[in-house]
Amino acid sequence: MADSSTQSIIIGAAPDRVAAVICDFPRYPEWAEAVRRAEVIEEYEDGYASQVRFTLDAGVMADEYVLAYEYAEDISRIEWHLVAPSKMQKSQRGSYDLVGDADGTTTTVTYTLEVELSVAMLGMFRRKAEKMIMDAALKQLKRRVEASGAAH
């Protein structure tokens, strides 16, 4: 059975800046602590990644897997699914939904993740892994986007 979690965060940047960081997969190791490597292995004609291979080392969970991505026309939604079962996961589905405020200075990012593990994991380890994934997906993303804004 897959566990599903959803959380939101407000980031001090316009949706296109947030989407640019989310879609820059090769740079994930620079800001997402558990990601050791993210390699785009297939792209759509418009240059967006269609498949990305991730190497993850989160202590309690080390894995390598490929995700297939799809994007809303305006990049307000980025969603993915696991291409094939990995050592640790039977399935994974997720999405980022980006909603900009009226003046374009902040974006509410909602992250949803549903993972079915192929290994049994004690509840406390599962919760720790989930918290770490959610933190990377939202808090570390926020830090990266807002820091990159200061550089522009």
Q: What is the DSSP annotation of 42-109?
A: EE-TTS-EEEEEEEEE-SS-EEEEEEEEEE-TTSSEEEEEESS--SSEEEEEEEEEEEE-TTSS-EEE
pLDDT at 120: 73
Res 35: pLDDT: 93
User: What pLDDT shows up at residue 19?
Assistant: 97
pLDDT for 64-89, tens place per residue?
A: 999 999 999 999 999 999 999 999 88
Domain that holds residue 116: 3-151
pLDDT value at position 151?
47
The pLDDT value recorded for residue 2 is: 64
What pLDDT is attached to residue 119? 72
CATH number, domain at 65?
3.30.530.20
State how far the Cα of 29 lies from the Cα of 80, in Å rounded to an integer.
19
Number of folded domains in the chain? 1
Rounded to two decimals, the pTM is 0.88
In this predicted structure, what is the pLDDT of residue 62? 86
Distance CA 15, CA 73 (A): 13
Q: Which residues of the chain have pLDDT under 50?
A: 151-152
